Amino acid sequence: MTRPDGGAQLPGSLPGPVADAVRAFAADGADAPHPRLVALDFDGTLAPLVDDPHAARMAPAARAAVDRLGAACTGTTTRLALVSGRHLADLAERSLPPVGTFLVGSHGAETGVVTPAGLEAVPLELTEDQADRLDALRAGLADAVAGREGAWVQEKPSAAVLHTRLASAADTRAAEEAADAVAERLGLHAMHGKDVVEVAVVETSKGEAVDRLRDVVGHDAGLPAARTRVLYAGDDTTDETAFAVLGPGDLGVKVGDGTTLAAQRVPDADALAAALDLLADLLERPVS
């Protein structure tokens, strides 16, 4: 199968412009190799959205591509990261990431790395004020879902999340309005995503987390003066903060429909897996 421009069509219906962008991301010039960070959202990006978050698993093609990319990064200046709204331990359990992968949970509030011995997490410590507001937040969101079938609250170490995927339209609107009111009363920001409203007591974002990891990767690669190139892929409104921090040499890939700041788009996890497979192939056979 060929593309309209005459080039080969890659598996997984990877659009030609995306393939070209991946090649540019992987290319090095005459100088030392660029440090690179491949940061991927989990739900809706690598794993299909499901009614029960505990049942989420990577799509088979994404699973194979992530494992292959993790192996391809070994011994290079490229690092892999999963950046999610899930809390860190849950992300590690659901994603089963390759050793060496950075993990970012709770939209940047939690961080860790996967070692041969398991997940090595940076402890999250709340101030007394944050702990008090978290208690009040959880109580407020519990009231917001009371009597509303299909709406429920997930508790995280620094946040609480209203889930409405299984609720009626009327109950969803009422619960979201109540959640917004609780957040406003506590002086907190309510992040609206796909069938969720998350309110955190620690101010952070996926964009801030990606910027921090950019510096870590450059330092670990022994190239602190070089700007780490970042490939970020995500599907939801919360991923837009990560797309917003990308610049020259970086690559943003939106998965699915919706307005976005990302320069490239793929339709689903299978197409993203094709992009990751191409990147792994290029890392295994360096190009310039």
- 41 as an active site residue: the answer is yes
How crowded is residue 93: how many other Cβ atoms within 10 Å of its Cβ? 11
14-41 in b/e form (b: 16+ CB < 10 A) is bbbebbebbeebbeeeeeeebbbbbbbb
Amino acid at site 238:
T
Considering 41, 235, 250, 277, which one is annotated as catalytic?
A: 41
Say if residues 12 and 267 touch (Cβ distance below 8 Å). no
Q: How many residues does the chain have?
A: 288
Residue 13 phi, psi (nearest 5)? 55, 45
Both tokens of 136, joined, read 């009040």
Amino acid at site 262:
A
CA-based R_g, the chain, Å: 19
Say if residues 228 and 217 touch (Cβ distance below 8 Å). yes
* Cross-strand pairs, 112: 103, 121
- What share of residues in the chain are helix, strand, coil (percent, to 5)? 40, 20, 35
Residue 16's SS3 state is helix
- Residue with tokens 């997490």, as numbered in its chain: 121
How crowded is residue 149: how many other Cβ atoms within 10 Å of its Cβ? 10
- Which helix (H) or strand (E) is 56 found in, with range? none
The region, left, alpha or beta by phi > 0 then psi within -120 to 50, assigned to residue 163 is beta
Catalogue the active-site residues: 41
